[in-house]
Amino acid sequence: MLKRSLIGLYVSIVESENKYNIGIRGTIIEDSRNMVTIKTSQGKKKIVKEKNKFLIVVDNKETLISGKDLAGRIDERLKK
């Protein structure tokens, strides 16, 4: 899961240190080292990876993943 680009994946935030982030859902349009940008029906939301747990949908399968596991650029995640 971590060994691929996150861009284009559908995601929902299920746990967060910021209660206002819980329930944000949409498509990841940017993936930086510490943040993802999610395109939602209310616009773009920048979310810090490490402070959230994401439910990511890939090939109609849902995967719960900690933002700490998503931290880093894709090339850094490949080395883990």
> Could you tell me where the DSSP H helices lie in 1-80?
67-70, 74-79
Total domain count for the chain? 1
Range of the domain at 69: 10-79
Mapping DSSP to helix (H, G, I), strand (E, B) and coil, where does residue 61 land?
strand
In a domain, 62, yes or no: yes
Global confidence as pTM: 0.88
**pLDDT band at 2; cut points 50, 70, 90:** low
In a domain, 32, yes or no: yes
d(CA 52, CA 58): 18
Mapping DSSP to helix (H, G, I), strand (E, B) and coil, where does residue 42 land?
coil
22-43 pLDDT, tens digit per residue, is 999 999 999 999 999 999 999 9
In a domain, 72, yes or no: yes
In a domain, 3, yes or no: no
Mapping DSSP to helix (H, G, I), strand (E, B) and coil, where does residue 43 land?
strand
Question: CATH number, domain at 73?
Answer: 2.30.30.210
In a domain, 4, yes or no: no
Residue 59: per-residue pLDDT:
85
| Cα dihedral across residues 26, 30, 31, 32: positive or negative | negative
The residue assigned the tokens 């861009």 is: 7
Per-residue pLDDT, averaged over 3-19, amounts to 91
